[in-house]
Structure formats: structure tokens, C-alpha cells
Amino acid sequence: MPQYNPPLRDMQFVLHEVFRVVDALKVCPPHAEVDADTINAVLEEGGKFAAEVTFPLNITGDAEGCRLDKSTHEVTTPTGFKAAYEQYVAGGWPALSCDPAYGGQGLPFVVNQCFYEMLNSANQAWTMYPGLSHGAYECLHAHGTEEQKRLYLPKLVSGEWTGTMCLTEPHCGTDLGLLRTKAEPQPDGTYKLTGQKIFISAGEHDMASNIVHLVLARLPDAPAGTKGISLFVVPKYKVNPDGSLGERNAIYCGGLEHKMGIHGNATCQMILDGAVGTLVGQPNKGLQAMFVMMNAARLGVGNQSVGLTEVAFQNALAYAKDRLQMRSLSGPKAKDKPADPIIVHPDVRRMLLTAKAYAEGGRALLIYCALLLDHELHHPDEQVRKDSAELLALLTPIAKAFLTDNGFVAVNECLQVFGGHGYIKEWGMEQFVRDARINMIYEGTNTVQSLDLLGRKVLANNGATLKKFGKLVQALIEEEGVNEKMSEFINPLAQLAEQMTKFTTEIGFKALQNPDEAGAAAVPYLRVAGHLVFAYFFARMASAALKAIAAGSTDPFYQGKLQTARFYFARLFPETATLMRQARAGVANLMQTDAALGVEGI
């Protein structure tokens, strides 16, 4: 059976020693009184909830899955899921970073980020039920009418109700401009929605008394494409003016998807048969409003993969220390045993360190993103809010795609450490692999994220936002460039930062001549950008570790941090050279292949 220990020490290091979040948050009025002890205490209790309540349900939930009663359209979640959710609500966890005006605790998003990493490690499928509610809360908080906020936000904040996002339809996945769901205006100001949605995570379940669906649909006179999409809030049960539940709405689960992983989460085919909803935001501007939820979800998906990477690493490490196989090439290490533990073998350490580096780099990136969000929402300086929003927009596709690609690599490496036992269900490793695979697909495939990064976030503004991140990198290079102990971390970072400008300009120029060049270069380009970001954060973590050692600390944690950073720069970072060659290879070897693929005439 797998095990899980919340990585509180590493979280505290990143929060307090690398980013100094308490000082960073003091300038934000809602968080001026938040201190390190409060953050640490909340995360310690959150870790206990994840490890003791939801983690024991991970394997059983995967084996049992969800059940649909086709006569009632009701879904039953795996044994223990509902009770765990009741504990989650009773503990006040849904309200952690929500607005106090609606019953929230008002803690920084950066705290919620760390809590959700632990929940994702413990049980990704279970965590998706409350996780999507945060996105629904954010969307309605930003774009809902006062009446919608009054009716829905307190219940979402308390966790009494959960939320979903209903976008995808059978004939359109990422291309939402093709969606057909219709919304007919009614005399009372409501709308009746008719259509079908698929792949709706947590679309129907028995864990909460109501489900608040945010649904994209078209008004009768809507223009074609994405310019004609509106957003509606469509509850499972209609909500009376006093907030009580009314009759069942005409939105229901028509079927459950049979999936490769995340079996404990109900992925639903949702039918809208004249379901009553109300408009969120402006007509035909629904996609802009939904992006609040979509961007939150993309960061959340990156967090899912970091959580899985962490738990897979912990179990592979424990196994490698215990499993005896062969002798070390340099001579026996466990001379009192018939063989050495496999952790003595170099390639086993490579696999373990790959997972460790990807977990720690991903954790740093996501904590930084959460801190940017806190600044975007609450910093008193308008320019800081604007800069934070721009940087977060730049980093969001990287957080989604780079971290989920890395996560899938990491969990596969960890399964490999187990050898044949990794392929067997009872060890839990194959579930991590199956669960991690969806993260590269949903909330916009990783190729879509790559196109978004290169096209919208970099080339569309001539690299202005990328240059803002470059200034952070340059400031660190200037600060640490004369520190000889930092040279092994700073030099490769500085080299890539210098190459990035020329590399981006070159790709941009080719894309001006032929837009398909951007499509051909986008995926390797995002990974190069991801390594630039990781290199920056690993250099910052190495700097913090060296400062602690210089101050007299003998805690082996800091040496471990330096060793992980050295591994990252020596073994993972050099991928950038290959990636840049791939991106520069151009589009011809992809598109001039009709004969190879048998698609002449298309």
C-alpha cells in the first residue's frame, strides 16, 4: 500500500525562505496581519486532513468508481467520499481563501495553493469535487450580478454547494466557437438552455445538496464563433429568492465516461432540456467571463501533477531504500545482506531525482503564481497589480503544460523504480500514472497551452511580458553573479536568458512569414520557457540554501536542496539545447508529409 507524508518542510522553505511571503503580503491590506505561524499551522492541519482523511480513499475510490442510476440520473460516489467531504466542510476548508463578505476566511491564495497540492497528492479524483467549486466561486465573484453573488457565493464558500464548468460538447472540444447549446430568453429575465455537454468533471454526485453549473451557450441572435458565446449559471436545483432550494432543474447526467484514470470522479455527459439559467456578465461575452474559471483550473491542473509527482516520488524513494537487487558496480554496500538496496544504482537515483526536481521546481512555480494572484487582487499599487496580472498570464500556460508533462514523466520514472511491482495495482503506482495522464489533456491540451504562450502571451505584444520576467532573471544574475558558490546555477541561467531573446525573435519572424511556423515551434518553445522559469527558481532556492548554510545551519535539508539543484542543471536543464533545435527545424518536415501520412488532397 502506498504512503504519503505532507512535504511541509519544503513548503515552508519556499514560502518563508525563498519568497518571504509574509513580507510580500504585508503590503496587501487584507493580508497585513497574516504571519508565518498562522500559515504553518493551517498547512499542518491541512496536511493531516489530506493524509488521514482523503488519502486512504484513493485506491478504494479508484477500484469502486462512481455509479449512475439511469432511472433517476443520480450519481453515487465511491464509499467514503461523501463522509470525507462532510469533514472537509465541517473543518471550514472550502472557505480558506474566499472573501469574508461571503463567509470566507480571507487567507491568501498562496495558502490555499499549498493545501490543494497536498489534497492532490492524497486523492486527485476526490479533490476535483471541491476544486472546481473554487473556479465557479472566482467566476461569479468577478462577473456575477449582485443577486447571483447573494444567492450562490455563500453556499459555494461554505462548501454546502459545489460548482462545475460546462464547456465541451460532443462535436467540439477546444474549439468552443463550434458549440451549439442554445439559450432562449424568457419573459421573467431567465433563459432556457437546451443542449449537451460532455467531459464535465463532478457534473453530478451525492456529496453536496446542490451543484452550480456554469454553462456556455448561444443566444438566438448570437454571432458565429467565439464572439457569440454567453455564460449562464444553471443550478441542479433551482434557487428560490430566499436562497432555499426549489424544484429540480432540467439539467441532468445522461451517462458517465469510462476513463483511463480518476475513476473516483464523476466525469459526466450532461443533458440540458430546457434548463433554467441566468446570464452571467454581458451577452456574447461569456468566454471572457469563463476564462476566470478556466485560468484557475489550468493552475489547478498543474497543481494536480505536482501533487502526483510528490506522492509518487515518496513511494518510489521508500521502495528503493528497501528493495534488494544485485550489487553496486563499485562493490557491495550492504555487506550483511544478500544484495544491495536498489538506491545504490546510478540510474535508480536518476529516476528518483527527476521526480524530486520536478516536484520541487513545480511547487516553487505554483507558489509564485499564487503570490502573483494575491498581488493582482490586493496590492495597493495599481502598477504592481497590472504587472502581477501580466506575469501570471504568461506563467499560467507554462504552469499547466510544463508541469503536467513533467509530472507524467516523473510518475512513469517512479513506476519504473518499482520494476514489475510498479505495474501491479496493490502498490498504487500504476494509478498515479493513469491519473496523471489526463492532466496533459483537459483544461486545454498542452499543445493549446503552447500556442497560447507563444502566440498570445509572447508574440502578440512583441515579447513585452516575457521581458518583464527577464528583468527578474537579470536582477538575480546581477545580485548573485559575483558569488562563486552560485556560479554553477547562475551561469546556465544567464546563458539561456541571453539565448531566449534571439530564439523568440527568430521564431516570431518565421511565424510572420507563415503562421504554421508558430504551430510547429510552440511545444518545444514552451518547454524552453519552462526551463528558463525552473532555472530561475532553482537558482533562487540554491541561493536561500547557501545563505542558511553560511549562517551556520547544519540541517541536511539545505545540502539536499543544493544537490537537487545541481542534478536539475546537470541532467534536466540541458534538454533546452535539443528543444531549441526542434523549434528551429521549421514546419516543412511536418506539413510537407502528405505521402508519408496518406493525406494527399487534404
Secondary structure of 519-572 in the HEC alphabet?
HHHHHHHHHHHHHHHHHHHHHHHHHHHHHHHHCCCCCHHHHHHHHHHHHHHHHH
User: Which residues make beta-bridge pairs with 75?
Assistant: 68
Structure confidence by residue, pLDDT tens digits, 197-235: 999 999 999 999 999 999 999 999 999 999 999 999 999
Element containing residue 494 per DSSP (H, E): helix 487-513
Which band of pLDDT confidence, cut at 50, 70 and 90, is reported for residue 1?
confident
Q: How far apart are CA 229 and CA 225, in angstroms?
A: 8
Rounded to 10 deg, the angle between the 382-417 and 286-322 helix axes is 40
Residue 115 falls in which region: left (phi positive, over 0), alpha (psi -120 to 50) or beta = alpha
pLDDT of 129 over the 80 cut: yes
Burial class (CB in 10 A: 0-12, 13-18, 19+), 488: middle
pLDDT of 601 over the 80 cut: no
Q: How far apart are CA 602 and CA 599, in angstroms?
A: 6
**Local structure of residue 240 (DSSP, 8 states):** -
Element containing residue 200 per DSSP (H, E): strand 191-201
Dihedral over alpha carbons 177, 445, 569, 472 (to 10 degrees): 30
pTM for this predicted structure: 0.97
- Domain ranges across the chain: 446-589
Percent of the chain topping pLDDT 70: 100
Percent of the chain topping pLDDT 90: 96
The answer to whether 385 and 376 have CB atoms below 8 angstroms apart is yes
Average pLDDT, integer, range 428-441: 98
pLDDT of 528 over the 90 cut: yes
Residue 86 CB-half CA count within 13 A: 6
Residue 459 CB-half CA count within 13 A: 24
> Which of 139, 134, 144, 179 has its CA nearest to residue 279?
144
pLDDT of 145 over the 90 cut: yes
Which band of pLDDT confidence, cut at 50, 70 and 90, is reported for residue 19?
very high
The answer to whether 582 and 524 have CB atoms below 8 angstroms apart is yes
> Which of 490, 487, 488 has its CA nearest to residue 473?
490
How far is CA 90 from its chain centroid?
Answer: 25
Examine the residue annotation and report whether 443 is marked as an active-site residue of this protein.
Answer: yes
pLDDT of 176 over the 90 cut: no
pLDDT of 263 over the 90 cut: yes
One-letter amino acid identity for 287? L
pLDDT at 289: 85
Structure confidence by residue, pLDDT tens digits, 44-73: 999 999 999 999 999 999 999 999 999 999
Q: What is the mean pLDDT of the chain?
A: 97
pLDDT of 406 over the 90 cut: yes
pLDDT at 398: 98
Average pLDDT, integer, range 281-293: 89
Structure confidence by residue, pLDDT tens digits, 541-590: 999 999 999 999 999 999 999 999 999 999 999 999 999 999 999 999 99
pLDDT of 292 over the 90 cut: no
Q: How is 59-114 classified by DSSP, letter by letter?
A: HHHHHH--EEETTTTEEEPPTTHHHHHHHHHHTTGGGTTS-GGGT-----HHHHHH
Burial class (CB in 10 A: 0-12, 13-18, 19+), 35: exposed
Query: Per the residue annotation, which of 169, 376, 430, 443 is the catalytic one?
Result: 443
pLDDT at 260: 98
pLDDT at 602: 74
pLDDT at 287: 87
pLDDT at 293: 81
pLDDT at 361: 98
Please give the span between the terminal C-alpha atoms of the chain, in angstroms, as a whole number: 51
